[in-house]
Amino acid sequence: MTDKSSSNAYWAANVRIIYICLAIWAIVSYGFGILLRPALSGIAVGGTDLGFWFAQQGSIVVFIALIFGYSVYMNKIDREFGVDEQ
């Protein structure tokens, strides 16, 4: 690969993982916490219903997991494209 196409491929991979993370976060926080809350209200988790749990705790937990997942995946991409910190 040439330097320009390698750079474009690197940023395409970076933007792709950002879009995936944003989509997961939106689905969990907005979808499960707001739109699907009534449908999830019959499932009990820790003394409360699952819809409330997603609205109050689940979206935060998923966000933190996404941060760690993004970090691991970006380290893999950095090594693949030779831009990792050694």
Model confidence pLDDT, tens digit, residues 31-77: 888 888 888 888 887 788 888 888 888 888 999 999 999 999 999 99
Predicted pLDDT of residue 73: 95
What is the total residue count of the chain? 86
pTM (predicted TM-score): 0.78
The domain limits of the chain are: 14-81
Burial class (CB in 10 A: 0-12, 13-18, 19+), 23: exposed
Predicted pLDDT of residue 32: 84
**Is the predicted pLDDT of residue 86 greater than 90, yes or no?**
no
